[in-house]
Amino acid sequence: MDSITHLFYGGAIAAAIAPAKHRRAALLAGAALNTLPDLDVFPLRFCDPVTEMTWHRGMTHSWFVLPFVAWAVWAFFRRRGGRVAQEPQRWFWAIFVCLTAHPLIDSFTVYGTQLFWPLPMKPLMWSSLFIIDPLFTLPWFVACVVAWFALQRPLADKALCAGIALGVAYVGWSLTAKALVERQARPALAAMGLSQAPRFSVPMPFNTLLWRVAAMTPDGYVEGYRSLAADRGPMVFKAHTSDVQALREAEGIEAVDRLAWFNHGFMQAREEGGRLVLADLRMGAEPDYFFRFAVAERDADEWRAIVPEQIMLQRDVGAAWSATWQRIRHTGEGNLPTGEGARSSSR
């Protein structure tokens, strides 16, 4: 999830577990602790973009690592005396749950989380929440604000319980919405001979009413959209090509294999200017994907590895949201109404 959400998500969790007399300290500690796993982004900035992307949410998000970090943080502050020493048991669980809850909620996004690092498992990506979702953030935010001012009064306890309950319920709704979309996608894909094709579904930005479903094909992939508010009848999918031959030829190049592992094979390949460019199909939409990397270049009849380069595109967030909002409310032919709408006019 985004950093702002983690602040309030962690603050509410810690404040609900820590003693009421330590409430404001718990809100601040929870916000800091729930942000801690994402600090891996700073050392990764010194790496190439493929390493940066695929190692993020790795070791610092592992349930095999974070319990030891929680114990170390708790032991350090307990030795220093103060609040943790006064209520060591409550504070241990506040720290432990707050830290381990961070990668858990991250696993509900499509980016994926290496929850069991260092096991060689692909990142978990339940993909029922967009990385920024105001309706998910809202209950945690309100709970923290009320608890900050209500302190030890019963209102604070009620706000924290209600905020956590609503946050968890929203995750439950997102999984329900995902299941509904998957159920509607299955017959349409089966009619195209793609019933067994690898596929994923993911909510579009800032909501859980409009979803995108993509499935891999022998020569590329198909993509379709479903608005739970407006669409009726069979889903409509549009086919897109990928240079699958070039992708096969580039197997064995470290960046190619690493990306294929990280994105579960949901990847588009194109040759652009003699370079092999790979796009992560999970984040973005045709023709604009957030993560595109040049990873190899032509050398006679072979691909030669190069230092990966991320190809950045400017985006008009306002136009993207406008297109998304229109598509939520109005049925379409399987795609957003503006294919290029998410791109900035300055590009």
Q: Is the model's pLDDT at 343 over the cut of 50?
A: no
> Within a domain: residue 85?
yes
Task: List CB contacts of 287: < 8 A, sequence separation 6 or more.
Answer: 339, 340
> Within a domain: residue 203?
yes
Which of 218, 314, 303, 305 lies closest to 255, judged by CA?
Answer: 305
Which of 251, 247, 255 lies closest to 47, judged by CA?
Answer: 255
Same domain? For 199 and 100 the reply is: no
Say what the pLDDT of residue 346 is. 29
> Within a domain: residue 95?
yes
> Within a domain: residue 333?
no
**pLDDT bracket for residue 180 (50, 70, 90):** very high
Same domain? For 9 and 121 the reply is: yes
Q: Identify the domain boundary among 91, 126, 161.
A: 126
**pLDDT bracket for residue 336 (50, 70, 90):** low
Same domain? For 115 and 219 the reply is: no
Q: Is the model's pLDDT at 338 over the cut of 70?
A: no
Q: Identify the domain boundary among 76, 105, 126.
A: 126
Q: Identify the domain boundary among 126, 145, 174.
A: 126
Which of 284, 292, 293, 272 lies closest to 339, judged by CA?
Answer: 284
Ordered DSSP codes for 274-301: TEEEEEETTSEETTEES-EEEEEEEETT
What does the pLDDT look like over 10-19, one tens digit per residue? 999 999 999 9
The count of structural domains within the chain is: 2
Same domain? For 209 and 104 the reply is: no
Same domain? For 117 and 195 the reply is: no
Enter the pTM of the model: 0.92
> Within a domain: residue 168?
no
Same domain? For 97 and 194 the reply is: no
> Within a domain: residue 50?
yes
What range does the domain containing 75 cover? 3-126
Any bridge partners for residue 269, and if so which? 278
> Within a domain: residue 338?
no
> Within a domain: residue 342?
no
